[in-house]
């Protein structure tokens, strides 16, 4: 297949693109390499991708219609995996306009360009943040009409627009709600990479809340394989991709990294942030039945792979802005 992957220099986009090419697909990757987090990490991922036969990179903004249109004029795409967009709950409170522009308007630009060029398979990345306030484990059928951050609201808008194009133009749409993705080359604004480096360096960990809040951590390779599995024809489906087991507390994550690094963490406790969710936990039965997918990498194995990667790349990772 010829696949357009937006956000290819992002964490999930990078690994998904690598696996697509390993499976024999051709990929055009799009990213604007914005500076929401340290661009050196995005460039590291992109450098790995540009060495792969079957990959081509385009630097473009998703909400710039002309740039997106040129991509579709040059390649007959079979599908679009839309992983590009603004991530991060806390920063969305500071800069909500950027999130609506990229996640909502950018998604509309992709969908409309697909319509004009007859491309009808759309895989959309969404978020477990939509489930705030719902009973766990989270089912895809739950009403998610009360987003508690601009980030979640912008992702809800993207989901709604994707359904509209399914209804009006028969797009085949797979919406994937990701649950706390972690692993090597993960985002430096998320706790796993930050905590590994801070524990290793002896820098105090900034911990919001008492550490009892928990997440359904999901290893990056499992997420990437699930994303590729979602290229199959499903009509219109929303599917959770998560660990599917009992969620792991932030305190447990810190303890795991302490054991793997052989060092103790210094904790700088701060008040809980209202826009954060207390707990996440995915019901993944739908992913198993529709996509024949379930996670393969345990939390202990995944965190060890992250620590091993950090040690290998420490010379430059220790210089990243967290």
Closest CA to 273 of 90, 135, 86, 37: 90
Give the Cβ contact number of residue 118 at 10 Å. Answer: 10
- Per-residue model confidence (pLDDT) at position 213: 95
Q: Which of 185, 217, 191, 203 is nearest to 38 (CA)?
A: 185
Cα 33–chain centre separation: 15
- Cα(64)–Cα(153) distance, integer angstroms: 21
| Tens-level pLDDT at each residue, the chain (322 residues) | 999 999 999 999 999 999 999 999 999 999 999 999 999 999 999 999 999 999 999 999 988 888 899 999 989 999 999 999 998 888 899 999 999 999 999 999 999 999 999 999 999 999 999 999 899 999 999 999 999 999 999 999 999 999 999 999 999 999 999 999 999 999 999 999 999 999 999 999 999 999 999 999 999 999 999 999 999 999 999 999 999 888 999 999 999 999 999 999 999 999 998 878 899 999 999 999 999 999 999 999 999 999 999 999 999 999 999 9
Q: What is the dihedral of CA 146, 147, 149, 152, to 10 degrees?
A: -170
Active-site residue 151, yes or no? yes
At 47, is the secondary structure helix, strand, or coil? helix
Out of 37, 91, 151, 310, pick the active-site residue.
Answer: 151
Q: Which domains does the chain have, with CATH numbers?
A: 2-317 (3.40.50.720)
> Whole-model pTM?
0.96
pLDDT for the residue 123: 99
């Amino acid at each position: 297949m010829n696949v357009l992957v937006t956000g290819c220099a992002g964490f999930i986009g990078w690994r998904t693109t690598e696996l697509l090419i390993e499976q024999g697909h051709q990929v055009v990757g799009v990213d604007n390499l914005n500076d929401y987090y340290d661009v050196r990490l995005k460039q590291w991922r992109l450098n790995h991708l540009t060495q792969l036969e079957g990959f081509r990179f385009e630097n473009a903004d998703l909400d710039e219609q002309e740039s997106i249109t040129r991509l579709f004029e040059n390649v007959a795409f079979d599908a679009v995996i839309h992983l590009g967009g603004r991530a991060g709950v806390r920063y969305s409170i500071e800069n909500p306009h950027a999130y609506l522009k990229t996640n909502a308007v950018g998604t509309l630009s992709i969908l409309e360009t697909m319509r004009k060029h007859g491309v009808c398979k759309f895989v959309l990345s969404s978020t477990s943040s939509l489930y705030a306030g719902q009973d766990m484990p989270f089912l895809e059928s739950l009403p998610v009409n009360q987003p508690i951050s601009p980030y979640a609201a912008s992702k809800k808008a993207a989901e709604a627009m994707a359904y509209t194009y399914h209804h009006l133009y028969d797009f085949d749409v797979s919406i994937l709600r990701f649950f706390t993705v972690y692993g090597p080359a993960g985002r430096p604004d998320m706790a796993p990479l930050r905590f590994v480096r801070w524990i290793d360096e002896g820098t105090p960990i900034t911990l919001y809340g008492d550490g009892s809040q928990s997440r359904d951590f999901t290893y990056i390779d499992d997420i990437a394989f699930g994303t590729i599995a979602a290229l199959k024809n499903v009509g219109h489906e929303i599917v959770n991709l998560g660990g599917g087991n009992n969620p792991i507390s932030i305190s447990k994550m810190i303890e795991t990294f302490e054991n793997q690094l052989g060092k103790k963490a210094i904790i700088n406790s701060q008040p809980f942030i209202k826009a954060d969710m207390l707990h996440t936990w995915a019901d993944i039965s739908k992913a198993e039945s529709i996509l024949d997918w379930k996670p393969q990498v345990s939390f202990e194995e995944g965190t060890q792979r992250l620590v091993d990667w950090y040690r290998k790349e420490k010379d430059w990772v220790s210089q990243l802005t967290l």
